[in-house]
């Protein structure tokens, strides 16, 4: 029997903060009680917070490790392990790794080659060998503006731990890139193309949307049902787009770009997820609605670290200050994402649930991770 006792801690339960003791036994939460414990081996937390392990629904972090520089294909095993370790160190114990499906094979100026199927197999081979510290699922980002989406989706089956499938339409001039100048800066900066190359890229995306858009959208919806994945929308901007998403059965809205869209999502019982970097920076790098704006009008349900893993913890504590309600804020990175993806065994500190726990101390108002347990095993 493996037992860990964490005492003299501020335990963040779903609705309150309890000063007391948390016991992990055989990988699950065994007991939560008020007061301190004098049991042999108990770890005195010195008044630090204990929160559930964070649950990350959308992160591009793995892609950053696979391709640390444009054109550099880093050895995948070490990249996956580095990604896994970085998330653990940030207090994330469950992740839905975002991988793009849908490639553009006729455009040599931008890197939209196929990679998700092979990379996911490498990841789960490491998981089967016990090499990963935290729990990994897949988040397939179905790119409508592509040539190979349906073929790539067809390579995945229900056994592949696909938890989320999001429908993305990056046609220039709408959704995330209503302001085409933002797209120009992104594409030219990331891929090093000139203006003529960018114009060819824009024309190509528009042609792909016109040719494949409807069939790819319908195919993505069907694939989500086949895979047993939660269907998500991406960058909804208008009430009409949200209505279409609701008609498809979308339950999760990634990064709606306007308050109008976020409000419509709530009307359709669709959970709204915003980026923690947006919240921390005070606005969207694409010029869209600020996460803080949605938080202030109760239109923000879930935070995602997006492209900075450490932002998830910082963002949650920022929300705790904004709302003057730390348990509510912590739910946006634990209980709410667990509920949105049907993970009933985690996301809260309660007896019988997974022993996913993070010890956090605040240093000059900034949360600092001092310990991470995944299923009762110390991983950070």
**What are the tens digits of pLDDT across the range 249-272?**
999 999 999 999 999 999 999 999
- pLDDT: which is higher, 144 or 8: 8
- Range of weakest confidence among 196-210, 215-229, 253-267: 196-210
Name residue, tokens 């110390």.
Answer: 378
pLDDT band at 145 (very low <50, low <70, confident <90, very high): confident
Cα 154 to Cα 319: distance, rounded to the nearest angstrom: 40
Query: How confident is the model over 162-168, as a mean pLDDT?
Result: 96
| Helix, strand or coil, per DSSP, at residue 203 | helix
The mean pLDDT value of the chain amounts to 92
- Range of weakest confidence among 68-77, 229-238, 338-347: 68-77
- pLDDT: which is higher, 207 or 158: 158
Cα 226 to Cα 76: distance, rounded to the nearest angstrom: 28
Sign of the Cα torsion 54, 347, 257, 105 reads: positive
- Range of weakest confidence among 156-160, 177-181, 209-213: 177-181
Cα 60 to Cα 255: distance, rounded to the nearest angstrom: 14
8 A C-beta contact, residue 21 and residue 32 = yes
Query: How confident is the model over 173-179, as a mean pLDDT?
Result: 63
pLDDT band at 190 (very low <50, low <70, confident <90, very high): low
> So what's the pLDDT on residue 202?
75
Cα 171 to Cα 177: distance, rounded to the nearest angstrom: 8
Residues of the chain above pLDDT 90, percent: 78
Sign of the Cα torsion 229, 230, 234, 240 reads: positive
Structure tokens at 158: 């229900």
pLDDT band at 178 (very low <50, low <70, confident <90, very high): low
Cα 221 to Cα 370: distance, rounded to the nearest angstrom: 41
- pLDDT: which is higher, 337 or 204: 337
Highest mean pLDDT among 15-19, 100-104, 174-178: 15-19
> So what's the pLDDT on residue 287?
78
- What domains does the chain contain, in order, with CATH numbers? 53-346 (3.20.20.140)
> So what's the pLDDT on residue 326?
98
> So what's the pLDDT on residue 112?
73
8 A C-beta contact, residue 180 and residue 173 = yes
CA 329, 272, 15: angle at the middle one, nearest 5?
Answer: 25
8 A C-beta contact, residue 358 and residue 50 = yes
- The pTM for the full model equals 0.91
């Amino acid at each position: 029997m493996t037992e860990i006792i964490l005492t003299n801690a501020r335990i963040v339960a779903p609705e309150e903060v309890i000063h007391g003791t948390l016991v992990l036994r055989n990988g699950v939460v065994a007991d939560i009680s008020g007061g301190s414990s004098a049991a042999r081996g108990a770890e005195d937390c010195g008044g630090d917070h204990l929160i559930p392990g964070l649950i990350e629904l959308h992160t591009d972090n793995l892609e950053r490790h696979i391709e640390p520089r444009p054109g550099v294909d880093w050895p995948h095993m070490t990249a996956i392990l580095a990604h896994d370790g970085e998330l653990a160190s940030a207090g994330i114990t469950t992740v839905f790794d975002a991988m793009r499906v849908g490639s553009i094979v006729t455009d040599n100026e931008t890197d939209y080659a196929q990679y998700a199927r092979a990379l996911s197999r490498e990841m789960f081979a490491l998981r089967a060998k016990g090499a990963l510290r935290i729990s990994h699922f897949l988040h397939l980002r179905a790119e409508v503006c592509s040539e190979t989406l349906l073929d790539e989706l067809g390579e995945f089956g229900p056994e592949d731990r696909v938890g989320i499938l999001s429908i993305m339409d990056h046609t220039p001039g709408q959704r995330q890139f209503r302001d085409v100048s933002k797209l120009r800066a992104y594409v030219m900066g990331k891929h090093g193309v000139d203006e003529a190359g960018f114009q060819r890229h824009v024309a190509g995306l528009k042609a792909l949307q016109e040719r494949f858009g409807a069939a790819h959208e319908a195919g993505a919806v069907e694939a989500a049902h086949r895979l047993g994945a939660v269907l998500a929308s991406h960058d909804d901007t208008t009430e009409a787009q949200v209505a279409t998403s609701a008609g498809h059965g979308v339950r999760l809205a990634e990064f709606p770009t306007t308050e109008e869209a976020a409000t419509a999502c709530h009307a359709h019982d669709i959970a709204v997820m915003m980026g923690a970097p947006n919240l921390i920076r005070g606005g969207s790098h694409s010029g869209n609605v600020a996460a803080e704006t949605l938080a202030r009008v109760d239109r923000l349900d879930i935070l995602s670290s997006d492209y900075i893993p450490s932002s998830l913890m910082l963002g949650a504590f920022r929300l705790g200050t904004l709302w003057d309600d730390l348990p509510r804020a912590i739910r946006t990175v634990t209980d709410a994402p667990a509920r949105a993806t049907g993970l009933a065994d985690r996301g809260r500190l309660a007896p019988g649930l997974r022993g996913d726990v993070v010890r956090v101390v605040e240093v000059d108002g900034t949360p600092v991770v001092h310990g991470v347990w995944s299923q009762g095993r110390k991983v950070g």
